[in-house]
Structure 1
Amino acid sequence: MEKKTTFNRWTVGILFAVPQLILIFTFFYWPAGQAVFWSLTLQQPWGGGNIWVGLDNFISILEDPNYWDSVTISMIFAAISTGLAMAIGLILAALTDRQLRGSKFYRVVLIWPYGIAAPALAMAFRFILAPEAGLIAVVNQWWPGIWDPGLNGADALASVIVAFSWKYIGYNFIFFLAAFQGIPRSLIEAAAMDGSSVLRRFWDVQFPLVTPTIFFLLVINITESFQDSFGIVDIMTSGGPHNSTNLMVYKIYSDGFKGLDFSGAAAQSIILMLLIILLTIFQFRFIERRVHYR
């Protein structure tokens, strides 16, 4: 029988919960409340208080075509980067789980990318994908202008996607490998005795059993793609060229700290939070139906 911890006095439980409640209030509820307040007021850039404007900030943002371009770019970035990071992480985990020669070494090395800070990662990829040096320079000599993130918006977005995906491959690899190792070997051996090939065993046995992990990582990766891409964009492209990599999270920074539009940036942060919430609800409402928990 499972043992449950009980307290004779309810104050003991409250004391254990107070530190966590203080952290949540300090680092989430209080900043979120301030953002809501600023989004409904006009914050003076040089002080002087707030002027109540209601929903005018939201209306101004939603009427701005540049903002909708940022939303579109962010959706494209989230879809492609999530797909790449999860697909490659799944394949690498499946190969490592087969315990091939050197699998223990790969198991350690493939986790390292996630431990690299985003600015350092962005700086490295900025040099790796530079059109004037390295392999890319050789390619540009054969096909001049085929790759230039400084001038071509599609190339700039592709470079940011590659850098972000590379970082989260290691994160996804950890969870996928744990999911594969949790599958009973008897199931895989039984499928092998029935004559199933490696790919057939993966698709019919292993893949359905790791769908809960796939769903979990899908939610996490999409959420992180909207929030954790700022450092990479800031170092590699600074939102350019021609706003082709001006993601929603970077636009909040540029409008708020560079343009001194604090109220508009606060309203954008509220919209971004609502968008993430809606995407999460959509995933739990429709995608979770395909998950096999048993």
Structure 2
Amino acid sequence: MERRAYYRNPVLPWLLIGPQLILVLVFFYWPTTQALYWAFTLEQPWGGGNSWVWLDNFLAIFRDGEYWLTVARSAFYALCTTGLSMAVALFLACFVDRALKGTKIFQSVYVWPYAIAAPAAGVAFRFIFAPQSGIVGSINQIWPGIWDPATNGVHALIMIIICHAWLGIGYNFIFFLAALQMIPRSITEAGAMDGARPVRRMFDLQLPLIAPTVFFLLIMNLISSFTDSFGLIDTMTEGGPVGSTEVMVYKIYFDGFKGLDYSGAAAQSIVLMLLVIALTFVQFKWVEKRVHYN
């Protein structure tokens, strides 16, 4: 039987949800309405208000070949970051999901990267991958120029992908470990008794049983890759070299605040928002129905 909470004071529920409603209105709905207004208008060259141009801003960005390169780069970035982060997290979760001495310590340690802010991680990884110092510097002394993210766009993009994937490992690890621990031990023990090695058991038994969790994390990681990469890129490369690490969210910032094209940047933000909404719709339409907690 479904139970519902009833309040004698009708004002109390609104007081409880009031702070959250204020946060949503101030930090989501108000900026969204402003972005919609700027996306369909164009500011006069010498001030004096905005004039309605309707879909002209969207048509302008869709006709821009550079914008589509940014979209393709963002998709590549999201796929690589998501795949790398989830693969490493699943690998670590499978090893920790064992009744061995010391596994509790590793269960705690593997979560720590998720608590680190993206700009702080960006500064650390920028130093780690600096071509003049550390292990990379030693390799460059043997093969000069083999690694230089300051001038090579591919190297810079690889550096950011690795950093973003590392930040997401802790989040993915928590879900993977929880999903693996929900699998009855009798299933994995039966596979071991039949002679299946750990890798075989993971692909044939464990992975199919945690498919809902994998699908959920896939959607969440893709959304994060499209929307949460600004701090890393701004700290590590600022979109360079020559725009080779400029993804959709950073292009919005660059065109709006550096290029002062507020209308074009607003149109790009609407496109990105629609993409995130589409991914969220997929999650609630298909993923939520396949997640069982009993």
Normalising by structure 2, we get a TM-score of 0.91
Counting matched residue pairs gives 294
**2:142 is matched with which residue?**
142
What residue ranges of structure 1 are gaps of 5+ in the alignment?
Answer: none
CA contact (8 A) 1:81 1:225 kept: yes
Q: Does residue 267 of the first structure (1) align with residue 267 of the second (2)?
A: yes
CA distance in 1, matches of 2:89, 2:45: 45
Map of 1:62 onto structure 2 = 62
Closer/same/farther in 2, CA of residues 56 and 2 from structure 1, 3 Å limit: closer
Deviations 1:115-167 (A, max 9, x none): 11111100010010011111111111222211111111111100010110011
Question: What is the aligned partner in structure 2 of residue 26 from structure 1?
Answer: 26
2:205 corresponding residue in structure 1 = 205
What is residue 84 of structure 2 aligned with on the other side?
84
Partner of 1:183: 183
What amino acid maps onto 2:53 in structure 1?
V
Give the 3 Å change call, closer, same or farther, for CA 41–118 of structure 1 in structure 2. same
Quote the residue 2:243 is aligned against: 243
**Are the equivalent residues in 1 in contact too, given 2:111–2:170 (CA < 8 A)?**
yes
What value does the CA root-mean-square deviation take over the aligned residues?
A: 2.5
Report if aligned partners of 1:209, 1:293 keep a CA contact under 8 Å in 2.
no
| Alpha-carbon separation, structure 1, partners of 2:72 and 2:275 | 12
Cα distance in structure 2, aligned partners of 1:142 and 1:45: 55
Q: CA deviation at 1:27?
A: 1.9
The residue number in structure 2 matching 1:232 is: 232
Q: Distance in 2 between matches of 1:274 and 1:2?
A: 35
| CA distance, structure 2, for counterparts of residue 43 and residue 168 of structure 1 | 39
Shift of residue 57 of structure 1? 1.0
- Partner residue of 2:95? 95
Q: 2:110 corresponds to which residue? A: 110
> In structure 2, what is the Cα distance between the partners aligned to 1:293 and 1:45?
57
Residue 60 of structure 2 is aligned to residue 41 of structure 1: no
Task: Indicate the SS of the match to 1:179.
Answer: helix
| Aligned amino acid, residue 275 of structure 2 | L
Q: Pick which of 98-107 and 139-148 moved more.
A: 98-107
Give the C-alpha shift of residue 59 in structure 1: 1.2
Q: Structure 1's 204 and 225: CA in aligned 2 closer, same or farther, altered over 3 A? A: same
1:235 Cα offset (Å): 1.0
Whole-angstrom CA distance in 1 between matches of 2:121 and 2:13: 43
Q: Deviations over 1:166-216 (max 9, x none)?
A: 110111111111111122222222333333332232222211221111111
Percent of residue pairs bearing the same amino acid type: 57
For the 8 Å contact 2:41–2:51, the answer to whether it is kept is: yes
Distance change (3 Å), C-alpha of 1:123 and 1:182? same
**Offset at 1:281?**
4.2
Measured in 2, the distance between the counterparts of 1:280 and 1:13 equals 27
Contact 2:216 2:283 in 1 (8 A): no
Any idea what the Cα deviations from partners look like across 1:251-281, whole Å, max 9, x if unmatched? 1111111111111111110011112223444
Residue 132 of structure 1 pairs with residue 137 of structure 2 = no
Give the unaligned 5+ runs of structure 2: none
Residue 5 (str. 1) matches residue 5 (str. 2)? yes
Amino acid at match of 1:210: I
CA distance in 2, matches of 1:196, 1:136: 40
SS at match of 2:239: coil
Q: In structure 2, what is the Cα distance between the partners aligned to 1:213 and 1:56? A: 41
Q: Give matches, 1:281-292, under 5 Å.
A: 281=281
Could you tell me the TM-score, scaled by structure 1's length? 0.91
Alpha-carbon distance in 2 for matches of 1:129, 1:37: 42
- 1:13 Cα offset (Å): 4.5
State the match for 1:216 in structure 2. Answer: 216
Q: For residue 171 of structure 1, what is the aligned residue in structure 2?
A: 171
- 1:195 to 2:195 alignment: yes
